[in-house]
Amino acid sequence: MPRNKEALIRYRVINRCLIDYNVISKDKLIGACEDALDIHPLGKRTIDGDIHAMRYDNGLGYYAPIKYDRNRGGYYYEDPDYSIDNIPLNNEELEALVFTSSLLNQFKNIDLFRQFSGAVQTIIDAVNIRRLTEETSMYNFIDFEKVPFIKGSEFLQPLIEAIKSKKTINLTYHPFYEKDAYETIIHPYLLKEYRNRWYVIGLNDEYKKRRTYGLDRVLKIEKSNVHYVEQDFKPDEYFKNSVGIISPTGTPPTIKIAVKKEQAQYLITQPLHESQEIIEENEEEIIFQFMVHPTYEFKTIILGLGSNVRIMEPQDLKDEIISVLQETLEGYSSN
């Protein structure tokens, strides 16, 4: 059961008093805790319980060497160099910290987190120093996926501020498929990350429809004076029937795919969509069913499975995939 904030403050006050004084009475410990918490009076039983917890509580893990000197009528640390701030990490805790610091290191230069880069670097340095003092290096057998620089991440902070403060923005946007950039007013509702790219979903002021904009294609963001239109936007519902960052309207079709058994294990352990279910299985294939819109991202995943998958239903999606594969073959045949 988590400890309340007041108890944790008392532990730190008691710890500081035991460090600052050779011996300190219970009454003075009570007074120090009362002043720190602005609580009067604080019972002696509370301090007795705190001292006992600091000494013996496995959950705290302090095992503080607090002793009582009868002759001087006060408490002291048997080890003068002890402090609860210097509790050594056990192997399990150190491994968890090393793992976490490795993950933090990947994100410290992204603009959104740059203001915390000093704190992150301090953690990383401290962990690395501890690792260097060990005879063996930890996690030298784990190769983390390298997170590339995400173009457009410099716009995360102003977008977050616009969403929080419910302000419209003037977006200068250059789509991949158009020659020139254009400006548009949007009412931003959500930031979404997908496959190492950031997107903003908002209401397009001109067309009065929700649109998705990739931040890697944003050239500039400026504040707009257009009145913000607030909507009851629920991301979970908005993306419920889609894979990726586009969410078509309407009821999604039922999609059935047959996947060779070896490849099917990847889909079983990491489903493509929450609606995924197995409806049939034979010696060679597993049949999966989805209730999902066949978005570009979904079709890209299916095509990425190559000869290990075939579309069974619906027919129009099957025909589309066949057409793409035929064009791909023609492209290879022409060279």
Tens place of pLDDT for every residue, the chain, 335 residues? 345 778 888 998 999 999 988 899 999 999 999 988 888 888 899 999 999 999 998 877 788 999 999 999 999 999 888 888 776 555 565 566 666 666 666 665 555 555 555 555 555 555 555 555 454 454 555 555 555 566 788 888 899 899 999 999 999 999 988 889 999 999 999 999 888 788 999 999 999 999 999 999 999 999 999 999 999 888 889 999 999 898 888 999 999 999 999 999 999 998 999 999 999 999 999 999 999 999 999 999 999 999 999 999 999 999 999 999 999 998 888 76
Q: In what order do the strands lie in the sheet with 277-281?
A: 277-281, 285-291, 254-260, 309-313
Residue 222 has a CB neighbour count (10 Å cut-off) of 10
DSSP state string for 151-186: TTGGGHHHHHHHHHHT--EEEEE--TT-SS-EEEEE
In the chain, ranges of CATH 3.30.70 domains: 254-333
Cα 194 off chain centre by: 12
User: For residue 175, which of 167, 187, 183 has the smallest C-alpha distance?
Assistant: 183
Residue with tokens 């690792």: 131
Q: Which CATH number is associated with domain 153-238?
A: 2.30.30.520
For residues 294 and 167, give the distance between their C-alpha atoms in angstroms, rounded to a whole number.
33
Residues in contact with 107: Cβ distance below 8 Å, sequence separation at least 6, in sequence order: 113, 120, 147
Residue 120 · residue 185 · CB < 8 Å: no
- Domain 254-333 class? alpha beta
Locus of tokens 């977008």: 159
Q: What is the pTM of this model?
A: 0.59
**318 with 312: CB under 8 angstroms?**
yes
Domain with CATH 2.30.30.520 in the chain: 153-238
- CATH pick for 5-86 out of 3.40.50, 1.10.10, 1.10.287, 1.10.3210: 1.10.10
Give the Cβ contact number of residue 115 at 10 Å: 9
The answer to whether the peptide bond before residue 175 is cis (omega within 30 degrees of 0) is no
pLDDT at 93: 57
Decide: helix, strand or coil at residue 250.
coil
According to DSSP, residue 284 is labeled: S
The answer to whether 326 and 303 have CB atoms below 8 angstroms apart is no
Q: Are 218 and 186 in contact (CB under 8 A)?
A: no
With beta carbons less than 8 A apart as the criterion, state whether 243 and 272 touch.
yes
Q: If residue 74 lies in a helix (H) or strand (E), which one and from where to where?
A: strand 74-77
Distance in angstroms between the alpha carbons of the first and the last residue of the chain:
68
Q: How far is CA 93 from CA 79, 89, 96, 122, 143, in A?
A: 24, 6, 5, 17, 20
Residues of the chain with CATH 1.10.10: 5-86
Q: Do 173 and 219 meet the contact criterion of CB atoms below 8 Å apart?
A: yes
Distance, CA of 331 to CA of 335 (rounded, Å): 7
Rounded to whole angstroms, what are the CA distances from 287 to 22, 256, 263, 313? 74, 7, 12, 11
Where would I find the beta strands (DSSP E) of 205-240?
A: 209-214, 218-223
User: Can you give the pLDDT at residue 148?
Assistant: 58
